[in-house]
Amino acid sequence: MTLLARLLWKGLTLKGRRPLGPLEPSVLRFRVWPNDLDVNLHMNNGRFLSVMDLGRFDLTFRTGLGRAMLRNRWKPLVGGITMRYRRSLEPFARYELHTRLLGWDGKWLFLEQQFLRGDELAAEGVVRALFRGREGNVPTAEVLRPLGHEGPSPHLPEPVRRWAEGLENPALPEVPREFPMLPPVPGGYRISLDAREFQYDVIHGYLAQSYWSPGIPREVVEQAARHSLCVGVFGPGGLQVGFARMATDRTTFAYLADVFVLEEHRGRGLSAAMVRALMNHPEVRGMRRLLLATRDAHGLYAKLGWTPVTDPTPFMQVHRRDLYRQPAADN
């Protein structure tokens, strides 16, 4: 199927797909056809970029931005793309393209696009784009106004900010070559690795009542988070509804801890998404050993590749079970 035919089909079937909020992801389903293949008989790297156009088309029109674009004769322009390819897409394989708006500054919109085959990430990219009108580039505040969104941008992940700075200043050192994978989550939810977004009232409120850290002081929670690799998940209203962290030397070893999702938000795959985000972080993927302890979530972690410790003999511990419940010493 040619790209033009795919575009026409997605355009004709737009009415059958529900409208989206500005921060909700677009999900499109495709199949790898023979004209998508290269000489290695898997989907051509350039074809990924072409299919990404369809995802941005779908997101633009389902959020209502497409109507404003046509009415004002704005032209969408891409100002930069960075890609990471992880797995091949074989002939006739089914896959999904997830497209979402990560955030924006005064000029640019930043979008994340992921190719998923089942739960496996095949490729992902970040796109920097803008709209140009008759009088020049359209400010993002004006672009977002037709969507009914007038709030600030979500915090962009640090690697995305550094990449964007590198595009503006090519001499800037240490521009990252890849981005931590942030798995797709249900509409209205989003995942973030940005510690500035974490809501410690929520995090401490849950952990202090949990079976593994009852009574833990807030300052201990905050200090542990500062010295860990952390991830949070946020609900439609911006409230943090989940958290997880890895205590790690960021080189050889990590211990997964404090994984939770508030009860009313469970059953949506949010815990699994947070764990995947940490496991696929560039600093974690090459580690030799990851450990965790759980009382009742073995099934969840088994689906993510975790197994019981086959030989616990080498492991020892110091476990101060009631440390946070001890009364303060008298002065």
Give the mean model confidence (pLDDT) for residues 67-74: 93
Q: Which of 113, 135, 168 is the last residue of a domain?
A: 168
pLDDT in tens, 144-199: 988 887 778 888 888 888 888 888 765 544 434 445 557 778 878 889 888 888 99
Higher-confidence residue of 97 and 150: namely: 97
- Whether the full predicted model's pTM is greater than 0.75, yes or no, is no
Per-residue confidence band for 253, with pLDDT thresholds at 50, 70 and 90: very high
pLDDT at position 186, please?
Answer: 80
pLDDT at 329 over 50: no
Q: What percent of the chain has pLDDT over 90?
A: 62
Pair 240, 114 in one domain = no
Task: Check which CATH number belongs to the domain holding 236 and give it.
Answer: 3.40.630.30
Check pLDDT > 50 for residue 274. yes
In this structure, is residue 111 part of a structural domain? yes
Burial class (CB in 10 A: 0-12, 13-18, 19+), 225: buried
pLDDT in tens, 6-23: 777 777 777 788 899 888
* Mean pLDDT computed over 245-262: 95
Q: Examine the domain organization and report whether 10 and 159 are in the same domain.
A: yes
The proportion of the chain whose per-residue pLDDT surpasses 70, expressed as a percent, equals 93
Better-predicted residue by pLDDT, 1 or 117? 117
Q: Is the pLDDT of residue 237 over 90?
A: no
Contacts 24+ apart (CB under 8 A), 281-287: 281/180, 281/181, 281/193, 281/229, 282/178, 282/180, 283/229, 283/248, 283/250, 283/251, 284/229, 284/246, 284/248, 284/254, 287/248, 287/251, 287/252, 287/253, 287/254
Looking at residue 15, its pLDDT comes to 78
Domain count, the chain: 2
Do residue 257 and residue 290 come from a single domain? yes
Structural domain for 148, as ranges: 3-168
